Structure 1
Amino acid sequence: MRHAEVLENGELGIRPLRNAAATATFDLSGDDVVLESRFSFYGFRYAEITGGDLSPDDVEAVVLHTDMRRTGWFDSSHAELDRLHENVVWGMRGNFLSIPTDCPQRDERLGWTGDIQVFAPTASYLYDCDGFLTSWLRDLAHEQAHTPDGSVPLVVPAALPGFGSGGPTAAWGDAATVVPAVMHERFGDVGVVRAQYASMRAWVEAVLDDTDGSGLWTGRMQLGDWLDPSAPPDKPGAAKVSGDVVASAYLARSLRLTADAAELLGHDEDARRYGDLAERSRAAFAAEFVTPAGRMMNDAPTAYALALGFDLVTDPPVRAALAARLADLVREGGYRIGTGFVGTPLVADALTEAGHLEVAERLLLQTECPSWLYPVTMGATTVWERWDSMLPDGSINPGEMTSFNHYALGAVADWLHRSVAGLAPAAPGYARLRIAPRPLPALEHASTRHLTPYGEAAVAWRREGDEVVVTAVVPANTVAEVDLGDGDVHEVDSGAHTWRTAAAKPRQHPPLPGLDAMLADVIDDPRAYRALLHTLAEHAPERVDAVRTGTVWGSRRALSTALMFTPPPVLAEVDAAIRAATA
């Protein structure tokens, strides 16, 4: 029995498995027996069985994962979005087996710290993984205690002693501070913070020892914004954002989380010290990497998402300028994803909180590659490691490192729960809830429910004419703060509640002047964008991919600039099509 995640040219796609044979061999007795592997497991969608007279009805696939209670659900009017969420769930199931692995199929299956660091909020909503992650954090602290400088290994358990042993690594080692903080926020678990506090301190002290005392963490080789979609297949760490930006941002964040943990546990002196260090790092980050006008020195989406999402910039006008530039970058990129492991969990929140909800929606619902929904259009049933693990022509990405079950990029599901549907904790363990749905214009309804320590909480919204109807269930012995985006923030007690609010008016798109239209207006108007690509496909098909993926969809660039050297007859057809589509 041979196993694989995908088919390529009608055969098992085994190259991504690398050295994993993913094969079970049985010697048949000649009698009717049930054969099942007991000492191994496989990550697969397809299996090839040879040497026996079997029918498909004789075969059953058994799902293996640590026994955890399902606690979170999401539903919407968008079938592909629901499939994405289901892929996130299946990715977690396939990788939460004894430890939180990166992937369940190839010759790896390791507890990569960076993956769970970004995914912990989503995981803690979908399943009751408090005990699971508490156990893994004990392993982390144990392995950390065996490093010479207090740094955290890239994988826990530390099965790769010779890999990444050059000192602390940002975003990966920060699992030591982030995961306990998430567990306290989501489960109200003070015990795990107390148990891990020494580990949290050891991690930030290891990083501080690796800095020059300026508050920044620079000069170290970092994995950075791993698997930025612009990185070449053989250089997954070649991101648009500098590793120094990522490392310095995480230093400030981990110092703040450690200060918060010290305050929670009553370690007042530690709380003051780490709080001061966190503020110093925050200020140093802003001084080094942010211009007074609100531009990042690395003009990349992840840089802006870090500055906003980690509250590294506090001046309101500068934050607004950063968010506006982030929205511009997303638009200029054709609403295709431009972030890797670090930026992906932050970008939608950064846009939403700054009032750019429609930009976040376009980014979420994009189906062109790279995007969250592109794998769904390719038949994916789990979240992929790369945005393009499978290329549009059905071939497997040529990079050596390609998995079709990797939950990290599915961290966006936490935003679906908190913002699209609108349910989040406002106090540890959901003792206080936040009900704040942000209805996406493209959706007719969305809902979520979560089994909190106090009972089931639920939020749902649906469109009725010019109104949005919001319903919620607040568990007993809790309260909820309600923010429907209309300026009226209030508190309600436990029970069932219904509100009605005016729906946002649909955006009106003006007629566009053909080739003289600005590229931002073309990409923002689905009618114009479809007309452009359809016309090119009909009259100059060789130019479609170049225009779609190579154009900077800027607000001061005319459409004609993206069509240089296009034959005049084709230009005339495009001009007429844009005008007709938007008239």
Structure 2
Amino acid sequence: MTGAVTVNAPRIGLSAEPFVATATPRLSWKTVAGTDDWTQAGAEIELTVGTAGTTATIDGDQSVFVAWPFAPLRPRETVRVRVRVRGADGVVSPWSEPTEATAGFLGTGEWGARFVGSGSDDPQLLRAAFEVRGLVRRAFLYATAFGAYDVRLNGATVDDAVLKPGWTSYQWRLLYDVTDVTAHLRSGTNTFGIELAGGWYTEAYGFRDRARRFYEGSPAAAAQLVIEYEDGTTATVVTDESWRCSPGPVVAASIYQGETYDARLLDPGWASSTVADGDWSPVVPVEVPAVRPRPRTSQPVRVIERREVVDVITTPSGATVVDFGQNLVGWVRITVSGPRGHTITLRHAEVLERGELGTRPLRNAAATDRYTLAGDGEETWEPKWTFHGFRYVEIHDWPGEFSPASISAAVVHTDLPRTGGFSTSHALLNRLHENVVWGMRGNFLSIPTDCPQRDERLGWTGDIQVFAPTASFLYDCNAFLRSWLEDVRLEQTAAGGVVPMVVPAVIPQVPGQLEPVAAWGDAVTVVPAVLGERFGDQGALGDSLAAMKSWVDTITARTGGSPLWESGVQFGDWLDPDAPPDQPGRAKTDPGLVATAYYFRSADLTARAAQACGNAEDARHYRELAGRIGDAFRATYTTAAGRMMSDAPTAYAVAIAFGLVEGERKAAMGERLRHLVRAYGYHIATGFVGTPIICDALTATGHVDTAARLLAQTESPSWLYPVTMGATTIWERWDSMLEDGSINPGQMTSFNHYALGAVADWLHRVVAGLAPLEPGYRRIRIAPTLLDFLDDASAWHETPYGRASSAWRRDGEVVRFDVEVPANTRARVRLPSGVEHEVGSGSYTWTERHPRPRRSRAELGLDSDLATIVDDREAYRAVLGAISAIDPDRAAAFRRTTRWTPGRSLRDPLSHTPLDVVDAIEKALAALPAGELS
């Protein structure tokens, strides 16, 4: 095809936010070419400041994270950048649309605001009046809090971000927000108002009776308004002791417990009135950590969308519950009329149990909001100092007749651009992927959390370690995760090289919190590596290399130099489905094996990062260390015949997926893994560590059919079982809800945990076949994999270079493959036949003949091999159906305990089964047609 070449408006820095946090932000741009196989040979970058412009020229194809080629930005300097490119064919594009950005950082010594508050933990209103004496050219607000805050100027909220400034390791790092507030100022007297609440700063962290305040001191806010006048002068307004404070309508606010709001206490003019302060009291300087606030580097939290009620339920106890049809994170907004002083109570939960609100999994979190009416007609309110994980809201004491139109749900999370998707005509699998997306949305709220609903919501390092590849496909989370990694490194330094289990590390009273834990602490090596691979952000590797080395060195010190990591606190293959509900760490796989495998992986990733950063000596050191660990792993945990000493699926999965075995031993382990997956009836038999990689391990050893059967399983435990139970997010446990509709009896149960949804990365990379071959998708690997139970699959991803996609669809015995490759990249395409194509940018279509495998069945009976029965879906269902029709409990036990291994007949596990059940099974099998099946 032919056509014009255009350049999208460039990105300045790590995100599309209007303020940049550094004086030399990197630049990225995407080119759209109407010509196939287009590559960039050079580019011109034009910088305009005011009316003055300058241009820089670069040679080559670099268009992602290009070094800033101009003089460093000065505080508050606003620039416009546009780009035009020259192709290898010599054609020059038009100039792109410009991108405008402002330096959001303050100069050295410019921060002059004092941290002030009321001196108590109660939510407060702070205010001051100031004068604007002339024509304002520009005005910028810099604001932050130890706690959560919002700013009003002359009564108007200045931006749409919520729960500012977000959660960081407050004792070392505090972020400030920057806002252009020029439009909010007026000549003469102005009013500056701040709403202040405790947020994460005053929360009690820990489990059950161990919950304690971690951060000391009361909430405090600091703000600095810089006004630039047309005459060239500047004025600054700061928070100081001249400000005054007063309790407001927010009576109580807690992340976990909820918000209580009394509208009778609201003075609508508190942030706009110029009248005397009346009963307002002087603020007090608040002692806070000695941290110089820094500009935000990631996107803020915002209300992303609002959802309406899909159903109103009257529970068996007579309560009114609204259903939003989707487990989400945020809060509700109500519009109501009623008598003054009347209080409405809103209780939130993710599920119903026996028709009532299922609140037991919330543990100590009340997740309850209360609103007391002012009685002045129609009133609209929503909380702003808490958030809940919920699908259902129970409404108590609604005045008058309730209408579902009077309540809506706000979906709240960090405002990340969506960059990827997956779809298939298989409804359950499609819903599973949607559940993964919603799980990420709910748990990417300021930091990557484990769950959003109970008394936890912590930055568990293990969760994001396994989920980072999936997250990086679905959303542009590079800036988000880079920001969180800053806290990881700070917490690690404070802990002497140990990466805490949660970051920010706010639960030191929990045993082992500051001990090195495999798969959790390894987030410090894995997440930067993922950012380098998926976004092409080598800066993420450079910033984290010292921390990566420190983590590996810490493990080395703890093992006394042994290449095996078999000591200390370990979670192992957490949440193995065979573990008792209240002992989630009792997995089939030896924890030392898991720890040593991760020790190898982190040493290997550190060596690769050092090599990418140009540090050859460190690369050699950690590569040799990884070699010694690998040798010890194989000598200790494997046999020459390809068996693991810990004969469990996760053991084989980590050995294969982490590259610890090769050649014949790898092939033998893949065969054994296939055998074990079948023995467990194609049910999930892996926990936190094994589940994200088991399909990859099976695929890498030639057993994609087994991975497909595992993926398609709908019985518990499986990925699709929760979908059949109505799940709209990923559960923490495979059976967070039991088949009878009751909640898992364990004390740790969540219905919104993204970790086990990490299988979505396999759907993207393997099933649809879209993966990076070089960092940032500079070269793309496209290798779709046909699964027999699917008619089609497709994935798209907005790479740093532009949109890439891979799709396949069956039409009878012919499969069509459609591929899209963005400009300035190349792709290696491998079709299922083994045919390979090396292509440049453009759109491509191929077809191949791939008939589905034809099946045949011998006559089946009680003497049939167990493996033969389980490999035949209809036969397996016939056996279970026959038992269940007579004794459902026996059927459940049979499904749970039978190991479907070759060499044993179906008669063996039925030896103590009543004869009527055995006869029913025999008749059900005999009724199945034999011979070739359609």
Scaled by the length of structure 1, the TM-score of the pair is: 0.98
Partner SS state of residue 39, structure 1: coil
Which of the numbers 417, 431, 442 marks the counterpart of 1:69?
Answer: 417
Residues in 1 aligned to 2:880 and 2:530: alpha-carbon distance in whole angstroms: 44
Q: Residue type of the partner of 1:44?
A: F
Which segment drifts farther, 163-172 or 127-136?
Answer: 163-172
| Structure 2: 5+ residue stretches without partners | 1-345
Q: Residue type of the partner of 1:284?
A: A
2:386 is aligned to 40
Specify whether residues 57 and 558 from structure 1 end up closer, same or farther in structure 2 by C-alpha distance, changes over 3 A only. Answer: same
Equivalent pair of 2:421/2:795 in contact (CA under 8 Å) = yes
2:470 is aligned to 122
Partner SS state of residue 105, structure 1: coil
Partner SS state of residue 269, structure 1: helix
Q: Residue type of the partner of 1:418?
A: R
Which of the numbers 737, 743, 748 marks the counterpart of 1:390?
Answer: 737
2:521 is aligned to 173
- 1:313: Cα distance to partner? 0.9
Deviation sequence 1:259-285 (CA, Å, 0-9, x none):
000000111110000000001101110
Partner SS state of residue 25, structure 1: strand
Partner SS state of residue 24, structure 1: strand
Q: Residue type of the partner of 2:395?
A: I
Deviation sequence 1:407-447 (CA, Å, 0-9, x none):
00000000000111110000000000011111110011110
1:242 is aligned to 590
Which of the numbers 213, 227, 246 marks the counterpart of 2:561?
Answer: 213
Which of the numbers 519, 539, 554 marks the counterpart of 2:901?
Answer: 554
- 1:569: Cα distance to partner? 4.4
* Greater RCO, 1 or 2 (C-alpha within 8 Å, sep 6+): 1
- 1:504: Cα distance to partner? 4.9
1:501 is aligned to 848
Q: Residue type of the partner of 2:882?
A: T
Residues in 2 aligned to 1:502 and 1:396: alpha-carbon distance in whole angstroms: 47
- 1:353: Cα distance to partner? 1.6
1:16 is aligned to 361
- 1:161: Cα distance to partner? 1.8
Matched, 1:367 2:714: yes
Deviation sequence 1:3-50 (CA, Å, 0-9, x none):
011111111111110111101111111121111001111111000111
Within-5 A mapping of 1:4-403? 4-31=349-376, 32-53=378-399, 54-147=402-495, 149-163=496-510, 164-165=512-513, 167-314=515-662, 316-403=663-750
Q: Residue type of the partner of 1:332?
A: A
Q: Residue type of the partner of 2:646?
A: N
Deviation sequence 1:362-391 (CA, Å, 0-9, x none):
111101001000110111110000111111
Q: Residue type of the partner of 1:35?
A: W
- 1:541: Cα distance to partner? 4.1
| Structure 1: 5+ residue stretches without partners | none
Equivalent pair of 2:500/2:514 in contact (CA under 8 Å) = no
Which of the numbers 768, 771, 786 marks the counterpart of 1:439?
Answer: 786
Residues in 1 aligned to 2:577 and 2:810: alpha-carbon distance in whole angstroms: 35
Deviation sequence 1:321-359 (CA, Å, 0-9, x none):
100010110000011001111001110011112111111
Residues in 2 aligned to 1:70 and 1:543: alpha-carbon distance in whole angstroms: 46
- 1:574: Cα distance to partner? 2.0
Scaled by the length of structure 2, the TM-score of the pair is: 0.61
- 1:483: Cα distance to partner? 1.2
Q: Percent identity?
A: 59
2:187 is aligned to none
Which segment drifts farther, 246-255 or 507-516?
Answer: 507-516
Residues in 2 aligned to 1:108 and 1:317: alpha-carbon distance in whole angstroms: 45
Q: Residue type of the partner of 1:365?
A: A
Matched, 1:519 2:859: no
Which segment drifts farther, 230-239 or 541-550?
Answer: 541-550
Residues in 2 aligned to 1:370 and 1:496: alpha-carbon distance in whole angstroms: 40
Residues in 2 aligned to 1:345 and 1:4: alpha-carbon distance in whole angstroms: 28
Partner SS state of residue 251, structure 1: helix
Deviation sequence 1:532-575 (CA, Å, 0-9, x none):
12222334544211221111001111010121122334433322
Residues in 2 aligned to 1:12 and 1:540: alpha-carbon distance in whole angstroms: 31
Q: Residue type of the partner of 2:650?
A: T
Residues in 1 aligned to 2:686 and 2:912: alpha-carbon distance in whole angstroms: 31
Equivalent pair of 1:170/1:222 in contact (CA under 8 Å) = yes
Partner SS state of residue 137, structure 1: helix
1:412 is aligned to 759
Equivalent pair of 2:589/2:650 in contact (CA under 8 Å) = yes
The alignment yields a C-alpha RMSD, in angstroms, of 1.2
Q: Residue type of the partner of 2:591?
A: G
Residues in 2 aligned to 1:172 and 1:183: alpha-carbon distance in whole angstroms: 17
Residues in 1 aligned to 2:920 and 2:720: alpha-carbon distance in whole angstroms: 31
- 1:165: Cα distance to partner? 3.7
Deviation sequence 1:283-318 (CA, Å, 0-9, x none):
11011101110111111110000000001112x111
Equivalenced residue count is 581
Which has a greater percent of helix? 1
Which segment drifts farther, 8-17 or 177-186?
Answer: 8-17
- 1:221: Cα distance to partner? 2.4
- 1:56: Cα distance to partner? 1.3
Q: Residue type of the partner of 1:453?
A: P
Equivalent pair of 2:882/2:920 in contact (CA under 8 Å) = yes
Equivalent pair of 2:508/2:514 in contact (CA under 8 Å) = no
Partner SS state of residue 482, structure 1: strand
Q: Residue type of the partner of 2:567?
A: G
2:298 is aligned to none
Equivalent pair of 2:556/2:562 in contact (CA under 8 Å) = no
Partner SS state of residue 578, structure 1: helix
Equivalent pair of 1:375/1:384 in contact (CA under 8 Å) = yes
Residues in 1 aligned to 2:560 and 2:643: alpha-carbon distance in whole angstroms: 25
Equivalent pair of 2:515/2:569 in contact (CA under 8 Å) = no
Residues in 2 aligned to 1:159 and 1:530: alpha-carbon distance in whole angstroms: 49
Residues in 2 aligned to 1:10 and 1:571: alpha-carbon distance in whole angstroms: 37
Which segment drifts farther, 157-166 or 473-482?
Answer: 157-166
- 1:240: Cα distance to partner? 0.5
Q: Residue type of the partner of 2:624?
A: D
Equivalent pair of 1:419/1:437 in contact (CA under 8 Å) = yes
Equivalent pair of 1:313/1:319 in contact (CA under 8 Å) = yes
Partner SS state of residue 412, structure 1: helix
